[in-house]
Amino acid sequence: MRTAFLVAPEGVEQIELTSPWQALTETGETPQLVSTAPGRIQAFNHLDKGDTFPVDLTVDRTSASDFDLLVLPGGVANPDALRMDDAAVAFVRGFFDAGKPVAAICHAPWTLIEADVVRGRTLTSWPSLQTDIRNAGGTWVDQKAVVCTERPSTLITSRKPDDLDAFNKAVLREVGAMT
């Protein structure tokens, strides 16, 4: 299974990238780091610079049809930058149009809102996004992980790094790697 992790060149919360990446890798999945620019991305540990990671593909050179699953890590700056990039927003929307699963944590639902894919769905996020989600037609709930199976795509969301275990388990169940 090919999994895309979509991140901006700077600002992704490192643990929200590395924890689900590792969980998927341990089951034999093949994650690919997709960004809006080539080279390396700069991750953060909250406000402090973390590690850098090599970009595998850019959004202008790939599409949702190349992948089976999309993971959107958070951080405040990461989804804010992604939602301002038309190609990134189109990439996200492509997964929903194709009926493919999407997983988003923390502030990542900002990108989902920009892609206009939260209407009629139940999801969670970092608490400060709840008004944005409601204004976009979604239902916000305060839970560790939410799996919304409204068609065409399954949407898995989680609130914060403390919820990564629940998030990872929900993602692994979705790809059939955990029962």
Domain ranges for the chain: 2-174
Q: CATH number of the domain at 2-174, please?
A: 3.40.50.880
Q: How far is CA 130 from each of CA 84, 89, 135, 168, rounded to the nearest angstrom? A: 20, 20, 9, 22
Whether the pLDDT of residue 179 is over 70: the answer is no
Distance CA 28, CA 22 (A): 10
| pLDDT tens sequence across 81-123 | 999 999 999 999 999 999 999 999 999 999 999 999 999 999 9
Distance CA 76, CA 67 (A): 25
- Across 36-57, average pLDDT: 97
Sign of the torsion angle spanned by Cα atoms 30, 34, 38, 41: negative
**What pTM was estimated for this model as a whole?**
0.97
Supply the residues annotated as catalytic. 106
Residue 165, SS3? helix
Residue type at position 48: D
Residues 168, 103 contacting (CB under 8 angstroms)? no
- Across 30-52, average pLDDT: 97
Give the β-pairing of 145-148 and 155-158: antiparallel
At residue 178, the pLDDT reads 58
